[in-house]
Amino acid sequence: MRGPRLPVRSVIAAVVAAMLAFTAGCAKKPQQVVQAPGHFTVEFVDAGTEALAPAEYTVDPNLHGEGLAEYAATQLLAGPSTGRDAVVLFPTGTTLDVTVQDDMATANIGGPVTKSYTGGAEDEAAMFKSLVYTLTNVPGINRVQVLLAGKKRAALPGGHMELDEPLTRGTFAQ
């Protein structure tokens, strides 16, 4: 004997609703990239877009935490080995010192960019997006506090991005 039959439309509606609920929940929490041992992904941003342009680097598999975050920052500032003109990079002369405490990296930015920034709002957002996505690829790091020449500031001089609170991947979510 069969049980009661549900109308096909009801079943389809229930499945679609469940799928939408699942994907909506996923969109709220951008996920960290799981790094393979000995590899690290630096996240550049394609120029003129908001699209990430990941570049994979080989790294000592024993490098973790603050050491890995420093390595990642060094690679981010150096830029990719090819296609440098296709991505947004921090201005020449920029320095990054990274420390890690709990789930937050503190990125102390130095150099000419701390005195004046004239690159425009889109490139500024791309620089900080690449910084945040790269550092949050380090296991355990979920937030990035930006300091300018050792001090917490509201924004870059001439910039638009709010920097006085820690940045997360959600900061850049659409």
How do residues 131-148 score in pLDDT, each as one tens digit?
999 999 999 999 999 999
Residue 11: pLDDT above 80?
A: no
Q: What's the order of all strands across the beta sheet hosting 52-58?
A: 52-58, 39-46, 87-88
Q: What percent of the chain has pLDDT over 70?
A: 79
- Cβ-contact 113, 91 below 8 angstroms: yes
**Which of 14-23, 27-36, 77-86, 111-120 is the least confident region?**
14-23
Write down the pLDDT at residue 3.
Answer: 46
Give the Cα separation of 168 and 82 in Å (integer): 28
How do residues 92-129 score in pLDDT, each as one tens digit?
999 999 999 999 999 999 999 999 999 899 999 999 99
Residue 154 is given by DSSP the state: S
Residue 29: pLDDT above 50?
A: no
Residue 29 phi, psi dihedral angles, 5° rounding: -125, 90
Domain parsing of the chain, residue ranges: 33-172
In sequence order, which residues have a C-beta less than 8 Å from that of residue 12 and are 6 or more positions away?
A: none
Write down the pLDDT at residue 92.
Answer: 93
Give the tokens for residue 80: 């990719």
Tell me whether strands 52-58 and 104-110 are parallel, antiparallel or unpaired: unpaired
pLDDT category of residue 78 using cuts at 50, 70 and 90 = very high
Query: What do you get for the CA distance between the two ends of the chain, in Å?
Result: 51
